Amino acid sequence: MRPLRCRTARRCRGICPRCAAGLLQSPPTDFSGDSARRLPPFDPPAPADLARLFPGLEILELIGKGGMGAVYKARQKQLDRWVALKILPPSIGEAPAFAERFAREAKALAKLNHPGIVTLYEFGSVGQAPDERGEVGAVPAPLYFFLMEFVDGVNLRQLLQTGRVPPREALAIVPQICDALQFAHDQGIVHRDIKPENLLLDRRGRVKVADFGLAKIIEPERGCLTRSNAHVAGANGLQADGQTPVAAGEPPALRELTDAGKVMGTPRYMSPEQAEQPGEVDHRADIYSLGVVLYEMLTGELPGKELQPPSRKVQIDVRLDEVVLRALERKPEQRYQQASGLKTDVETITAGSAKSEVRTPKSEGEARSAAVEPRHPRQLW
């Protein structure tokens, strides 16, 4: 039996209390996020604790939690509509100049009005974060929040967990994402954290991109994402997701927030320049991340060190290889320069294949994955 990584002598029935605490942080239904959630958290307040801070809202339940905050489903009483309330980790307010940055960035985001982007209704800060009845040393801090459109559906991560996304669905989702990205990019806003968790699909199969620009609000100046908890990465040579090795030449972790709210990056979807030259990031970083997402949708896997074209792994139109590989070019200048360009190519393939049998390198008679439907996303459930 391999020795356990944690070498504490104080064990309770063979279990180290600290390690147990790490495991117990995650909600019982969480599967893929096991390792990702084991960082010292931010513990989201219970809905009842939040209620007094948001008198106009009826806060129902916690629907999501991550390094960037917690999201609750709520009802805005006066307007009689569902909303998503996102609160940031309380300690975030302690970062210098945060309040000013928050106001500036959030204003820009509130102007993003597009059917493919989760609308930001309101933002600001309220009272004090709920404490632990004085048992834990509670430092009063304003609670920063966003009030957003509530999307009734799933995110792409959940869809991916059910298996590979059939090519026709992937190709129906991508153009919508491109539209949203192009719209934001035209306004000078880069997302910086495109990943399946941020791509929401409502019941009609429409895509909405969430958390635009949030990374820039949380991480100052550079606007890029920090590496995760350094001690986790150091201890076992792996990053927070427990799979990706820490690169030897990786830049040191940027200034961390307090231990209550370490920002977790999503290294798997991050463009090379985001990791290496964070100050040089522009909208093409989003295109790279989209490339990773597309690759994952088509093949069920993330692109590895040796980038294998998707058509070598699954039966898809070989022309899609070019789209994906171009989006995943390490040098931004060699990628698609506009999200709309990616969309055009995808739609060309889609339209072209609707009539004829698709050319694949190995034809084993699986017509299902070969057929590509036109643009309308089919009802996903």
Site string for another protein, 203-232 (x = CB under 8 A): -----------------------------x
Give the residue with the Cβ less far from another protein, 13 or 362.
13
Q: Which residue in 7, 10, 111, 305 binds another protein (CB under 8 A)? A: 10
Q: Which residue in 5, 7, 111, 355 binds another protein (CB under 8 A)? A: 5
Give the residue with the Cβ less far from another protein, 27 or 115.
27
Q: Which residue in 197, 211, 241, 317 binds another protein (CB under 8 A)? A: 241
Catalytic residues: 193
Site string for another protein, 134-163 (x = CB under 8 A): -xx---------------------------
Torsion sign (Cα): 241, 246, 251, 257: positive
Scanning 32-40, 342-350, 360-368, 369-377 for contacts with another protein by CB under 8 A, the matching segment is 32-40
Give the residue with the Cβ less far from another protein, 238 or 371.
238
How many of the chain's residues bind another protein (CB under 8 A)?
A: 44
Give the residue with the Cβ less far from another protein, 10 or 362.
10
Give the residue with the Cβ less far from another protein, 115 or 234.
234
Q: Which residue in 111, 133, 355, 362 binds another protein (CB under 8 A)? A: 133
Phi and psi angles of residue 201, each rounded to the nearest 5 degrees, phi first: -125, 125
> Roughly how many angstroms between the first and final C-alpha of the chain, as a whole number?
44
Q: Which residue in 52, 103, 161, 236 binds another protein (CB under 8 A)? A: 236
29 binds another protein (CB under 8 A): yes
19 binds another protein (CB under 8 A): yes
Scanning 10-18, 70-78, 80-88, 296-304 for contacts with another protein by CB under 8 A, the matching segment is 10-18
Give the residue with the Cβ less far from another protein, 236 or 334.
236
Q: Which residue in 18, 77, 203, 312 binds another protein (CB under 8 A)? A: 18
Residues binding another protein (CB under 8 A) = 1-2, 4-6, 8, 10, 12-29, 31, 34-35, 38, 40, 43, 46, 48-49, 132-133, 135-136, 232, 236, 238, 241-243
